[in-house]
Structure 1
């Protein structure tokens, strides 16, 4: 049961966290570019690198989702186990 919960909630929580992080990073970069337009290129480069690192966490969560999903029992076996209780 715990594995099913980890598979079902792990990816969405990771994606939500990454989405919030990307929004905060983009917001900070845009504010910095608005304050100092002459540094927009450097700020944009830093933002793109930060977004790539944040997105890599989503890819790791997706990988773990598929790996854990392969460990779950078949649905038929799960239903049979629940009926026996």
Structure 2
């Protein structure tokens, strides 16, 4: 699965040491450039590996439920065509 760095940034969730989720949009926006750069570096790092993967799915900021449904269909089609 892959998506744009902006879409990944939009889905960022912050939590404390005990995994309690908290929402701080001000902090998130204040550090936007840092997080976008970090996401970019991660995607560049895995790009080489990702090229070797045959079955790809681009999230394109779809809702989680839609992604899951489409991935299930994709996986079923892969196994049915083997």
TM-score range, shorter chain: 0.3 to 0.5
Larger CA Rg, structure 1 vs 2: 1
Higher strand share: 2
Q: Which TM-score applies when normalising by structure 1?
A: 0.32
